[in-house]
Amino acid sequence: MAFVNSLWTGFDFIDKKILADDRFIARVRGLNENHLKELLKAVINDVVIEGAWEELPSMEDIFMSETQLKTEVDEQ
């Protein structure tokens, strides 16, 4: 809970995978141009961080996103 509270308005909590009673993997998304550096600053005093990494979209994800945006614009 301390982790989610630390995120406050700078990040969107997506989901978590429970590893043990006090250990989990959390997926979050930065809001308003917030990135990994800001995330670490926000949570460092509330949780123990064992690892952190950034997920970058695949080429397929980018293509699908751009195609969907173009379709929505064309329909308007």
d(CA 39, CA 35): 6
User: Is residue 48 within 8 Å of residue 26, measured between CB atoms?
Assistant: no
pLDDT at residue 59 in the model: 92
| Domain count within the chain | 1
Amino acid at 11: F
Q: Which domain holds residue 53?
A: 2-75
Look at residue 4 in the predicted model and tell me its pLDDT: 67
Q: Kindly give the confidence (pLDDT) of every residue in the chain, 76 residues in length, as a single tens digit, with 9 standing for 90 and above.
A: 566 666 767 888 888 898 988 888 888 888 888 888 888 888 888 888 888 888 888 999 888 888 886 666 666 6
- Amino acid residing at 4: V
